[in-house]
């Protein structure tokens, strides 16, 4: 019986996680599966309760987990805290503790959402890519600090550091993924300025030599940011370092109509972590209007990657697609002619579509 650790976190987190578990229960019922859940604190709520954004109880639960499902962390309440007491620090420590270095963010444009985007439909139609974001290195984890604190000359620094082995393993993930897709890898860097990017390019070229059947290219991150909205269909697998991947995946999310649509899987060691790419959206928390699609689609990724339940995963994805096609939309993707539904109504529709 797979054990899933649930991390509701902050903001809209608990609301969307609720819908994700309803969908999981519907899957269990329909396919005769049993899931064991354990809900644990992380983020701001964990700071309030335990004085630690990633408390020991949660770390311990990971030991016996088969997969982890995170909703979202963060909020204005903890914005003035020091790094150690910030919700996001809990998330970063968790990614590191799990060795979850490969963050897979699929971005596929749903035809029924092409006119929910701020971009023109003819630009979006058919776009289908996966962003492979390095998740446990780079600026997020390099040495950081302050110098000459309290003086007018006070300095702050963050270090963008990567080793060959860190680059190689993530680049291999991208090339392996490309084999099962359109066989094209775009590696994104800033090699015209950054030394870490020049090493990145070297490693990409070495790895590429092992994959003669895969076409690959290098792109500079600024140019890629532009090309993503100019002609997104050119991309198949995009691989990049942590911060570039963070930024480009939010940008790419807008191709799908809303950041609320995108799921992700973070793979590395034994236990994988699944999370929507969006944050805790404190501005809409508690209103019941958040889009649960991102976390529900993350559940599908979990069923596929962690449990090997391919049919179940495909059923969840198709259920979300059906609900959207039927015109049921949360506020973020709702056009005037659509039927606007709440977070939980959307979840109910997905469950219904699954059962049908």
Residue 130 Cα distances to 4, 77, 104, 139, 183, angstroms: 25, 34, 7, 22, 12
| For ligand IPM, the closer CB: 207 or 252 | 252
Residue of 101, 140, 216, 309 marked active site? 140
Q: Does 312 bind Mg ion (CB under 5 A)?
A: no
**Contact code string over 235-274 relative to ligand IPM, x by CB under 6 A:** -----------x----------------------------
Among ligand IPM, Mg ion, none, what binds residue 91 when CB lies within 5 to 8 Å by partner kind?
A: ligand IPM
- Name the one range near Mg ion by CB under 5 A: 148-156, 165-173, 239-247, 264-272: 239-247
Q: Compare residues 133 and 329 and give the one whose CB is closer to ligand IPM.
A: 133
Give the alpha-carbon dihedral of 118, 122, 123, 124, to 10 degrees. 70
Token pair for 347: 């979840």
Catalytic annotation present for 190: yes
Shortest separation between residue 348's beta carbon and ligand IPM, angstroms: 27
DSSP, res 320: H
Angle between helices 293-305 and 310-325 (to 10 degrees): 160
Paired residues of 152 in beta bridges:
none
74 lines the binding site for ligand IPM (CB under 6 A): yes
Are 136 and 167 in contact by the 8 Å Cβ rule? The answer is no
Does the protein bind ligand IPM through residue 279 (CB under 6 A)?
yes
Residue 74 interface partner, choices Mg ion, ligand IPM, none, CB cut-off 5-8 Å depending on type: ligand IPM
- Alpha-carbon distance of 331 to 118, in angstroms, equals 14
52 is a site residue for Mg ion (CB under 5 A): no
List the single partner that 16 binds among Mg ion, ligand IPM, none, CB under 5 to 8 Å by kind.
none
246 forms part of the interface with Mg ion (CB under 5 A): yes
Burial of 97 (0-12, 13-18, 19+ CB in 10 A): middle
| Residues 6 or more apart whose Cβ sits within 8 Å of residue 253 | 107, 259, 261, 262, 277, 278
Note whether 98 binds ligand IPM by CB under 6 A: no
Does the annotation count 210 as an active-site position?
no
The interface region with Mg ion, picked from 27-35, 130-138, 200-208, 245-253 by CB under 5 A, is 245-253
**Does 115 qualify as catalytic in the annotation?**
no
Asked whether 78 and 280 are in contact (CB, 8 A), the reply is no
**Token pair 């939980």: residue:** 344
Q: Under 8 Å CB-to-CB from 315, ≥6 apart: which residues?
A: 27, 30, 354
- Using CB under 6 A, list all residues that contact ligand IPM: 74, 88, 91, 246, 277, 279
Question: What amino acid positions are annotated as catalytic residues?
Answer: 140, 190, 222, 246, 250
């Amino acid at each position: 019986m797979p054990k899933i650790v649930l991390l509701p976190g902050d903001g809209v987190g608990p609301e969307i996680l609720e819908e994700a578990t309803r969908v999981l229960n519907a899957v269990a019922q329909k396919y005769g599966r049993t899931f064991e859940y354990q809900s644990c604190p992380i983020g701001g709520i964990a700071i309030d309760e335990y004085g630690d954004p990633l408390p020991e109880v949660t770390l311990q639960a990971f030991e016996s987990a088969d997969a982890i499902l995170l909703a979202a962390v963060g909020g204005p309440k903890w914005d003035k805290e020091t790094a150690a007491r910030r919700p996001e620090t809990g998330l970063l420590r968790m990614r590191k503790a799990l060795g979850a270095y490969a963050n897979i963010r699929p971005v596929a444009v749903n035809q029924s959402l092409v006119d929910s985007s701020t971009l023109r439909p003819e630009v979006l139609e058919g776009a289908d890519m996966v962003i492979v974001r390095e998740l446990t290195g780079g600026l997020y984890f390099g040495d950081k600090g302050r110098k000459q604190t309290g003086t007018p000359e006070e300095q702050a620094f963050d270090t963008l550091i990567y080793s060959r082995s860190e680059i190689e393993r993530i680049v291999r993930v991208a090339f392996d993924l490309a084999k099962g897709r359109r066989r094209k890898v775009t590696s994104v860097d800033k090699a015209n300025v950054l030394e870490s990017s020049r090493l990145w390019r070297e490693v990409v070229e070495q790895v590429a030599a092992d994959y003669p059947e895969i076409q690959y290219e290098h792109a500079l991150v600024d140019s890629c940011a532009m090309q993503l909205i100019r002609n997104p269909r050119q991309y198949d697998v995009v691989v990049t370092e942590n911060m570039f991947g963070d930024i480009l995946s939010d940008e790419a999310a807008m191709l799908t109509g809303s950041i609320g649509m995108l799921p992700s899987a973070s793979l590395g060691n034994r236990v994988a972590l699944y999370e929507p790419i969006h944050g805790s959206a404190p501005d809409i928390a508690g209103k019941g209007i958040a889009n649960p699609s991102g976390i529900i689609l993350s559940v599908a990724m979990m069923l596929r990657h962690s449990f090997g339940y391919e049919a179940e995963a495909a059923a969840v994805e198709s259920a979300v697609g059906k609900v959207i096609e039927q015109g049921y939309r949360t506020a973020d993707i709702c056009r005037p002619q659509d039927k606007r539904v709440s977070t939980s109504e959307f979840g109910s529709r997905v469950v219904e579509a699954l059962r049908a």
